Chains A and B, each alone.
Chain A
Amino acid sequence: QKEVEQNSGPLSVPEGAIASLNCTYSDRGSQSFFWYRQYSGKSPELIMSIYSNGDKEDGRFTAQLNKASQYVSLLIRDSQPSESATYLCAVKRSGYALNFGKGTSLLVTP
């Protein structure tokens, strides 16, 4: 079983809509969770981190964590075409290395 699971997509949303990206993880002891954005041909860029159950908001981004359900999500409000990219969910392993999902491709259409 893959430790971090994401739907590969593509997830298509119209410009201005809310994009909802989801991630599940298998290690119940995981403590730290991250969302990265990766444009084609570029390196992953950190968007948000979340460590506690509940919601964490940063501008148009909201990360949600539910440790009981082993579920992490990222909401992007007012999505823009320039945010079309692959979104990677990452979970901290024991130690400091991150375990990544395969990513969800997001397409925001004008």
Chain B
Amino acid sequence: DAEITQSPRHKITETGRQVTLACHQTWNHNNMFWYRQDLGHGLRLIHYSYGVHDTNKGEVSDGYSVSRSNTEDLPLTLESAASSQTSVYFCASSPGTGATEAFFGQGTRLTVV
């Protein structure tokens, strides 16, 4: 079955380190998204992509970057991890034109110490 997977599921890192969270989908969806979820804030959009080589900033993009070199993957990089980036990160994808329902990966719990 087609799916969307994130790795790792849990990560502890130190302040200042670069961290990359992986997201891989096998639906051949054009659109991919990264959200973070924090108590009191709900899901907030970090970055998104509508196709290969396309990337866009969301509402909380500072300190994060993404690149899209193929349809299946949208890795999220924290350039220099900060304690404020401790959160649960969700990757999602949607087909593209027409249907806009988004489907989520299992999430990555990141702790920055």
Contact = CB atoms under 8 A, between A and B. Distances in A.
Interface residues of B, number: 25
A97 B48 contact: yes
B42 A97 contact: no
A92 interface: yes
Residue among B40, B56, B107 having the largest count of chain A Cβ atoms under 10 Å: B107
B31 interface: yes
Given A46-B102, A49-B101, A96-B50, A102 B94 contact: no
A12 to B, nearest CB: 20
Interface string B29-67: 001010100001111110010100000101000000000
B27 interface: no
Main secondary structure of the interface of B (DSSP, over half): strand
Interface in A55-96: 88, 90, 92, 95-96
Given A43-B90, A95-B50, A96-B94, A102 B41 contact: yes
Contact of A43 (B31, B40, B106): B106
Given A92-B100, A100-B42, A102-B41, A43 B33 contact: no
A43 B101 contact: no
Contact of A97 (B58, B101, B103, B107): B58
Nearest to A103: B42
Nearest to B35: A100
Interface of A: 32, 34, 42-46, 49, 88, 90, 92, 95-103
8 contacts: A34-B102, A49-B100, A88-B43, A90-B102, A97-B31, A97-B45, A98-B33, A98-B102
